[in-house]
Chain A
Amino acid sequence: MEHTLFSLRSCELLALSTGIKARTLQELRDALGTVPASSLHYHFWGRLMRPQIGESEYNNDFAWWAGDSLGEKALAERLSVMNPGDYASLEDLREDMIALLEDRMDEGDFLSWARSSYPFFFTRAQMLVFDTGVFASRPEDLGDALKQVPYSSVFYHFLDARRRTPEREDDFCYWLSQFGEEAEPLRRELQNLDPHLLSLEELQKAILSIVERHQMRGGEKA
């Protein structure tokens, strides 16, 4: 049977202002109801394409703003633990976020007039997709291919793919499915890899480590 090649892409995000900003928690809640879903994606996942400085205290831009600019440390923790992978869609995530903010606003110690030290600027992005010139024709090529591509390839194939494929599957798993039982254990392990809390560098290493482990097992069997 003829298998399709996996042509690895890289990507770049071109950030755009939505023109919407929030200075208080109420304004953030109101704006969350109106901004495009692509803005949520940008503030949860797109931030990984921006430079990472050491260990970040919070895992998305909303949590960062709540903790750093509003001084709402407890709310920041609750926002930070939200994992977009746990939601069927960004709309579901949006709904839960709004509910979380409203719960906080209902609490007795909430200061409705508290202004942030700097506003939250809702941003979105357009993606440019590039050819890396790197291919994999068999599952065992995947490790070498991954070593040759930039981190943005992992963003495109592992994170962005879940927004553009019907099964919300990453591109690696989708491609591996054509190899049937042979690639199933690798595919299953990749499906279980949770990218939440990982930088792109760490995510690339984690994928590579899974792929290489399966290559070794394949070699032992042979």
Chain B
Amino acid sequence: MTLHIRDYENIVGEATLRQIEQLGSRLKGSRVVHVNSTKQGGGVAEILHRMVPLMQDLGIETSWEVVTGPEEFFQATKIIHNSLQGFPDVLTPALQQVYQETSEENAARLRENLENADFVIIHDPQPAGLLDLCPNRRGKWIWRCHIDVSTPNRNTWRFIRDRVKNYDASIFSLADFAQPLPHPQYLIPPSIDPLSQKNRDMPEDLVRKTLVEYGIDPERPMALQVSRFDKFKDPVGVIRAFQICAKRQDLQLVLAGGGASDDPEGEMVLREVRQAAMALEDVHVLVLPSDAHKVINCLQRGASVVLQKSLKEGFGLTVTEAMWKGRPVIGGDVGGIRLQVIDRYNGFRVRTPEGAALRMRYLLQHREKAERMGENARAYARQNFLITGQLRSVLALLEVSRHEEERERLEVFLS
């Protein structure tokens, strides 16, 4: 499907599109390469599936590359990912060696494309080592960090810092995540696409049909958490919250998620979740393929309450997805969720399974208030977390980074 920026006119209005087009006209013909570690699964891949064609629609020559590697490489990057988010996993010298060797293999394959680009945007730690391996680069290189690195394991951070310090700029989702680096650090929250299969409007009968197909009773209230089976998303804590809430409340729980090709830990967490849910007939654990966007859309629209009880979270895209569908969200009081969920306005932030149970019960008992919070959630998502806003910020960053001297104000229009 071809994407056009003008498709968003009815959702975000003329003023925003005009700004994007003015930035696009400044960058027209530039060569931009995005690099991440997977095309399937996870929030980064989802954003790039929409961001890349929209940049192309503006006349920017945009491509998307993926780093590949052996299983040990993804074990190393998973440890980097976990320990940057504060878990005490250790990146051994042997795994550091695997990371370096795999980076060199990827650099050999991608070097020509990357060195000739006007802008290279490297997403997350997995491909971060490429910059030092492209000595003849001529463009600006930007490191986009999607994860919560507010309290990283210092050894792992030093390892990554050595690889990202020479970038021209970095992007973090929140000020809390920024780390001392010798270049400008921009703050841009990630976004969802309101026109994607996962977020566009769905007919009510299709929503009901999908629930029935997955064994969920559309007549009974349903709580939902959509996310990878990852310990940071605390799926076992969600089951615990459900058990407390369901003592006195008719309720079904759906934990829906899938794996990502760069996440070797998913299977283990899934086993723990199945174990915890085994004796609970109203708990549905759905392992969905990474392209089950319509199903996720229907589940979110069919839910009475949506949870994202993360223990660490860079930015919960599933939070924004639920907000866009007018659902109040019960989110963990961590990371980017603190920017998305405004307590009592569009949902609740909680710290424990008990807190999540209490808020679930509240929302199920106060349907009118829940509806109002849902309306607030949709408006808040529209104002802040749609792909058009993120696209505008990224293009703005590319435009300002072309100028050697930093300017406080930059006129974008062609006079």
Minimum CB distance partner of A124 in chain B: B408
B413 touches A126 (CB 8 A): no
A17 touches B19 (CB 8 A): no
A16 touches B187 (CB 8 A): yes
| B-side contacts of A15, CB under 8 Å | 175, 186-188
A38 is an interface residue with CB less than 8 A from chain B: yes
Cα distance, A16 to B176, chains bound together (Å): 12
Which among B175, B345, B415 has the highest number of chain A CB atoms within 10 Å? B175
A129 is an interface residue with CB less than 8 A from chain B: yes
A133 is an interface residue with CB less than 8 A from chain B: yes
Contact with A along B167-180 (1 / 0, CB 8 A): 00000100110101
Cα distance, A16 to B400, chains bound together (Å): 12
| B-side contacts of A74, CB under 8 Å | none
Checking B18, B376, B412 against A129 with a beta-carbon cut-off of 8 angstroms, the contacting residue is B412
| A-side contacts of B415, CB under 8 Å | 131
B392 is an interface residue with CB less than 8 A from chain A: yes
B407 touches A126 (CB 8 A): yes
Minimum CB distance partner of A130 in chain B: B19
Cα distance, A131 to B26, chains bound together (Å): 13
Q: Provided the pairs A12-B392, A12-B396, A53-B345 are in contact, do residues A127 and B186 lie with their beta carbons within 8 angstroms?
A: no
CB distance from A57 to the nearest CB of B (A): 13
Q: Provided the pairs A17-B172, A17-B178 are in contact, do residues A126 and B19 lie with their beta carbons within 8 angstroms?
A: no
* Cross-chain pair count, CB within 8 angstroms: 91
A14 touches B409 (CB 8 A): no
Checking A14, A38, A131 against B22 with a beta-carbon cut-off of 8 angstroms, the contacting residue is A131
A10 is an interface residue with CB less than 8 A from chain B: yes
B411 is an interface residue with CB less than 8 A from chain A: yes
Sorting the interface of chain B by its residue count into under 10, 10 to 19, 20 to 34 or 35 or more gives: 35 or more
* Chain A count of residues within 8 A CB distance of the other chain: 29
Cα distance, A38 to B408, chains bound together (Å): 8
B285 is an interface residue with CB less than 8 A from chain A: no
Minimum CB distance partner of A151 in chain B: B15
Q: Provided the pairs A12-B19, A51-B383 are in contact, do residues A129 and B409 lie with their beta carbons within 8 angstroms?
A: yes
A83 is an interface residue with CB less than 8 A from chain B: no
| A-side contacts of B187, CB under 8 Å | 15-17, 123
Cα distance, A71 to B150, chains bound together (Å): 23
Cα distance, A126 to B403, chains bound together (Å): 13
Contact with B along A86-125 (1 / 0, CB 8 A): 0000000000000000000000000000000001010100
| A-side contacts of B188, CB under 8 Å | 14-15
Q: Provided the pairs A14-B400, A17-B187 are in contact, do residues A126 and B175 lie with their beta carbons within 8 angstroms?
A: no
In the complex, 24 of the A-B residue pairs with CB atoms within 8 angstroms, ordered by the A residue number, are A10-B15, A15-B186, A15-B188, A17-B178, A17-B186, A53-B376, A54-B345, A121-B175, A121-B178, A123-B175, A123-B187, A126-B400, A126-B406, A127-B408, A127-B409, A127-B410, A128-B396, A128-B409, A128-B410, A129-B409, A130-B22, A130-B413, A131-B412, A150-B15
A residues within 8 Å of B by Cβ? 9-10, 12, 14-17, 19, 21, 38, 51, 53-54, 119, 121, 123, 126-133, 149-150, 152, 160, 164
Nearest first, the 6 A-B pairs at minimum CB distance are A131-B413, A121-B175, A17-B178, A150-B15, A15-B187, A17-B185
